Amino acid sequence: MSRIAVVVFNLGGPDRPEAVEPFLFNLFNDPAIIGLPGPLRWLLAKVISRRRAPVAQEIYRELGGGSPLLPNTQAQVDALQAQLNDGTDDYGVFIAMRYWHPRAAKAAREVAAFAPDQVLLVPLYPQFSTTTSGSSLKEWHKEAKAAGISAPSRSLCCYPEEPGFVAATAAKLREALRGLEHETAPRVLFSAHGLPKKIVEKGDPYQWQVEQSVAAVVKAMGEVNLDWVVCYQSRVGPLEWIGPSTDAEIERAGREGRPLIVVPIAFISEHSETLVELDIEYRKLAEDSGVPAYVRVTTVSCDEAFIGGLAKQIRAIAASDRTICSQDRGRICPARWSGCPQAPHEAPDQGAAD
């Protein structure tokens, strides 16, 4: 029986009002987010986090003062642990948040104490981006070395078309369609977190992978005739971001008198961008814009199909000798996406100034 450590990565979120500003500082001091030299990035991160903290604290006040991301991630870890420990191998599942506790350093110490035979790295982002999965994996390798972890490690770099993820999302969308009572056919907005356009232009495969996820869900819907759009939320700063934006699509639906069903396609657990941005801010925008009905589909969270699919992928990594993508495949990104972790050369720095 092998001892296998599974490290799951997520963004993290402040657990109390006082943590909001340091959380934002950690976020904007990441070179994957702001690609300036260290001292300049540190200074800019200080300015941005201080300026944004009051607004962000109001957002988290809507959630009881802190982010629910850690307890939601822990629930997923518990479900995953139950799926994996079937008597064949001894799996330990550990959480490493990128910008707030528990950070990668703590997870690395826990993994070292677990003394695994191998370490499997699983970002809780179905679609790969240098700004999310890439940043988390880079920090992990640094902290794993510092913790003295010598066991070989491999990663599940992405799973945009993973059958369990797709099935769970499609099932939730079908339920929303059945429950919507309106004489006009709804439009489905597949909403994902946005990125500055320059990051994608430098080879980040995130937008392409989001589109693959949506295409897989639409295909899984079968004969349902969907009117759907891929759009992007959470735009901040002066840079041009990928689009169309979710808020612009909501306003368009209002002008056309179309009901909306919003599917968070790049988020797998509930947090501020679903519970506040989608449920409160965008719902109000929909009402103000004249959208006749607004339904938000919940994230896949601990859905049995999703957790089962993720467990299957983890077992595939354990049996493999390389980093894999969804369904035990090699590189899935077309060659133009040089930011793919399986590209033959290292991608250029892709930080984005605020």
With H, G, I as helix, E, B as strand and everything else as coil, classify residue 306.
helix
Secondary structure letter of residue 327 according to DSSP: G
With H, G, I as helix, E, B as strand and everything else as coil, classify residue 235.
coil
Q: Yes or no: say if 328 and 320 are a contact pair by the CB < 8 Å rule.
A: yes
How buried is residue 191: exposed, middle or buried, by Cβ count under 10 Å (0-12/13-18/19+)?
buried
Residues 6+ apart with CB under 8 A from 21: 49, 50, 53
Residue 193 assigned to a binding site: yes
What b/e readout covers 125-160, taking b as 16+ CB neighbours within 10 angstroms? bbbbbbbbbbbbbebbeebbeebebebebbbbbbbb
Q: What are phi and psi of 9, to 5 degrees?
A: -115, 140
The one-letter code for the residue type at 185 is A
Residue 101 assigned to a binding site: no
- Residue indicated by tokens 């990125």: 195
Rounded to whole angstroms, how far apart are CA atoms 264 and 105? Answer: 30
With H, G, I as helix, E, B as strand and everything else as coil, classify residue 103.
strand
Q: Angle at the Cα of 260 (from 264 to 177), degrees rounded to 5?
A: 80
- CA–chain centroid gap for 248, Å, is 22
Helix 104-114 to helix 133-146 angle, to the nearest 10 degrees? 50
Q: Yes or no: say if 218 and 228 are a contact pair by the CB < 8 Å rule.
A: yes
Q: How far is CA 247 from CA 125, 173, 207, 231, 243, in A?
A: 23, 20, 18, 9, 10
**Which positions make up the binding site?**
193, 273
Annotated binding residues for Fe(2+): 193, 273
